[in-house]
């Protein structure tokens, strides 16, 4: 089995991990930081999602706007 590991070394995530590791970090703060890290990771993981372009009308003019190519499955 080929396991692929991605190391996320983003400064914001490193900072939040450091705050989580401190002994004086409360349980509530720990959970908040964990949630923030989860959102940052989701952002990083979805970086390469395929896009399609769709003609839309804005208040100023029409444009070809980027949208996610795949429909949500949930």
Digit-coded pLDDT (tens) for 13-67: 999 999 999 999 999 999 999 999 999 999 888 888 999 999 999 999 999 999 9
- Residue-wise burial string across 5-32, b where 16 or more C-beta atoms lie within 10 A, e elsewhere: eeeeeeeebeebeeebeeeeeeeeeeee
> Would you kindly state where each structural domain of the chain is located, as residue ranges?
11-68
Which residue has better confidence, 39 or 3?
Answer: 39
């Amino acid at each position: 089995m080929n396991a692929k590991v991605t190391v996320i070394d983003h400064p914001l995530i490193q900072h939040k991990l450091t705050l989580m590791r401190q002994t004086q970090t409360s349980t509530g703060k720990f959970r908040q930081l964990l949630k923030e890290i989860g959102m940052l990771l989701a952002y990083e993981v979805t970086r390469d999602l395929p896009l399609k372009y769709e003609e839309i009308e804005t208040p100023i003019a029409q444009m070809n706007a980027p949208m996610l190519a795949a429909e949500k499955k949930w």
